[in-house]
Structure 1
Amino acid sequence: MAGIQIVRNPSVQASPADRDVAMRVLLGHIDGLGEDNRKSWRRFLRRLLALEPGGIVEINTKQARLGWYHRKHMALELAFFNTQDKFPQFDRFRDWLKLGAGHVDWVPTINGMVPLPKSTSYSSMEQGEMERFHGHFVDFMRTDYAGTTLWPHLSQTQRIDMVEGILGGFDE
C-alpha cells in the first residue's frame, strides 16, 4: 500500500468560490464507484479542501496488480535463472535477486542487522511497488556484481551482452 502525505500550503488561500470550482472539476472528472463510494469521496474532498494551513493528511492507496506485468516480470526472472548455474534452486535465486534489488526488511540478529527478502505476492505488493521493484531488479542485473556472480566464466563484455540480450527480449 502506497502512503502519500500531503500538507495544506499556508501561503495559498482559496476562496469559497475556488473550492466550489475544485469540487466541481474533481467530481466531474473522478467519482466514487457506487453510491456509498460517491458519498465517501465527496466527504473526503470536502475535508481535504477544509484543511487548516499546515494541516497534514496521509492518504493510503492500493492499485491492483496487473497480471500481464507480473507474468512478464516472472518470465524475465526465469530467463535469467535458466542461463546461469550458480543457483540450483529458483527460490534461492529469487531471494538473491530481491537482496540485490534492495527489496528487503532489515532485522536485528545477534550479529547485527541482516536483510530478509520481502514478498512480492499480490496481497503484499501493489502495482506501483511492483514497478519500483522491477526497475531495481533490472538495474541490479546490469551491475558488474550480478554478471560476475551468475557468469564468472564469461568476460565482462560477454556478461554485458548476456544481460542486455535477456533484457532486450523483454523490451527492457
Structure 2
Amino acid sequence: MSEITLVKRSDLQLSDEQRATLRLALFEMIDGLAESDQKSWRRFWNWITRAGVGEMFSIETWTARHGGFHRRHMKIEVAVFKCQERIRSFEQFRTWLKIGAGFVDWMAGPRGGVVPVPRSISYRKCDEDTMRQFHDDAIAFLRSEHATRYLWPHLDAEGGERMIEAIFAEFDE
C-alpha cells in the first residue's frame, strides 16, 4: 500500500477545452467500478477542485495481489521451514523471516529501546507491490550467511549456501 500526499499549488483557471479534456481523462478513461465507486471518485475530484491553495490531500493506493505469486512465496517459506533445524514453530519462523528481511515497523519498546514489530502480509494490508518487495528482501535475507548459519548450525558457510540454493532451485528462484 502506498500513501501519496498532495498539495494544491494554484487555482489554475482552465479553458473550456482544457476542462473537457480533463473531464474526459478523469471520468471516461478512468472511473469507479461500481456506482458507489463512481460517486466517490467524483466527490474526490470535486473536493480537490474546490480546495484552496496550500490545502493538502492524502490518498492510499492498493494493488490487488496476484494469488499465484502469493502461493509460490508461501510454498518457498514452507519448504525452507521444513528443511531448517532451528525454529520449531512456523509462526516463529515467519516472524524471524520478516525481521531479518526488514519487513517491520520500528516502535518504542517497554524499556525505552526501539524494537522491530513485524508487519502483516495479509491480502488487505500488503498489496502486490509490497508483497513482491517483501519476497525479494526475504529471499536475499535467506541467502545471507547469517541466515544459513542460523538455520543450519552444523553446516559451514558453503554448506548453508548449498542448502538454501537447493531449496530455491525447486522454485526457480
Partner of 1:66: 66
Partner of 2:160: 159
Give per-residue Cα distances to partners, 1:77-102, cap 9 Å, x unaligned. Answer: 01111221111222221111111112
Paired residues of 1:107 and 1:116 also in contact (CA < 8 A): no
* Whole-Å separation in 1 of the counterparts to 2:13 and 2:86: 61
1:1-172 to structure 2, matched below 5 A, reads 1-9=1-9, 15-16=14-15, 17-49=17-49, 52-105=52-105, 106-110=107-111, 112-172=113-173
After the TM superposition, which of the residue ranges 45-54 and 83-92 deviates more from structure 2? 45-54
* Whole-Å separation in 2 of the counterparts to 1:140 and 1:96: 10
Q: What's the secondary structure of 2:98's corresponding residue?
A: helix
1:110–1:36 distance in 2 versus 1, CA, 3 Å? closer
Q: What's the secondary structure of 2:26's corresponding residue?
A: helix
1:144–1:54 distance in 2 versus 1, CA, 3 Å? farther
Give per-residue Cα distances to partners, 1:11-61, cap 9 Å, x unaligned. Answer: x95733334312212323211123232222123234435555544211023
* Whole-Å separation in 1 of the counterparts to 2:5 and 2:171: 35
1:123–1:42 distance in 2 versus 1, CA, 3 Å? closer
Q: Which runs of 5+ in 1 are unaligned?
A: none
Q: What's the secondary structure of 2:117's corresponding residue?
A: strand
Once the two structures are TM-superposed, the CA of residue 111 in structure 1 deviates from its matched residue by 6.2
Q: TM-score, normalised by structure 1?
A: 0.79
The count of aligned residue pairs is 171
Residue identity matched to 2:152: W
* Whole-Å separation in 1 of the counterparts to 2:47 and 2:57: 10
Paired residues of 1:101 and 1:136 also in contact (CA < 8 A): yes
Paired residues of 1:19 and 1:49 also in contact (CA < 8 A): no
Q: Which runs of 5+ in 2 are unaligned?
A: none
Taking only the aligned residue pairs, the percentage that are identical comes to 38
Once the two structures are TM-superposed, the CA of residue 71 in structure 1 deviates from its matched residue by 1.4
Give per-residue Cα distances to partners, 1:114-169, cap 9 Å, x unaligned. Answer: 22333323344333332232222122112221111112333323323333333343
* Whole-Å separation in 2 of the counterparts to 1:34 and 1:124: 22
